[in-house]
Amino acid sequence: MKTLMRLDKFLCVCTGCTRSQSRLYLKKGCVEVNGQTEKKQDFKVDPGKDAVSLEGRILTYQEHEYLMFHKPAGCVTAVTDREHRTVMDYVEGKNRKGLFPVGRLDLDTEGLLFLTDDGEMAHRLLAPGRHVEKTYFAILEHPACQEDVQAFLAGLEIGEKRPTLPARLCLLEVPGQVTITVVEGKYHQIKRMFQARGNRVVYLKRIAMAGIPLDPELGKGEWRDLTEEEIERLRSLC
């Protein structure tokens, strides 16, 4: 059975414009369906088959949104908050309805976050049994050592029912700078792991998740759509 969609809604989904803006495009004759100008807002299109263009640009329909966001410190990983700016406050020029962050980063933690409206994928990426890797860059109060590397690999007691799962700690050339890869998402996990080793995290940034690195071209507070390859990478893990 075909799933048809109103043309004005299709324009909103594909471009992030408002319903009134989409109707204005139609009224001005800026929209073509399969090469023919179409002005009716309630005209039905098949998103999977019909070729729709706006001002000569072919529009690509995608059932769900998948964004990469470079979270700055001081930003809350939430949809709404009364005290702080949220990740959603940075997503301008995009239809934000239904979008939410996949997982969370602490208020003072920076780095990679995925935003989506695909609840099923988000659930699977965050499911404990999936063991999706998350990699962080950290600056420590004191330099870490090889004993710390082995302790992270063995699992640490951080006050939970069970020790943490094995994590990879890599010592970088600059003393006190490390990367950590975990497959869990416990509350303040990275900070608690170093605390268990008598150390303290001074700065923390997520630099990769699910094998997808944070785009170095994205400044703090900036976002972009995930590429098809990145989306397929996430789907392969689900």
SS3 state at 216:
coil
Q: Among all residues, which ones are annotated catalytic?
A: 106
Instruction: Report the 10 Å Cβ neighbour count for 159.
Output: 9
The token duo for 203 is 């700065």
Distance between CA atoms of residues 167 and 187, nearest Å: 15
Give the side-chain half-sphere CA count within 13 A for 88. 14
Query: At residue 194, what are phi and psi to the nearest 5 degrees?
Result: -70, -35
Contact 50, 34 (CB under 8 A): yes
Residue bearing tokens 């699992």? 155
Distance (Å) of CA 22 to CA 11, 48, 128, 205: 6, 20, 42, 39
Cα 39 to Cα 55: distance, rounded to the nearest angstrom = 13
Neighbours of 198 (CB within 10 A): 9
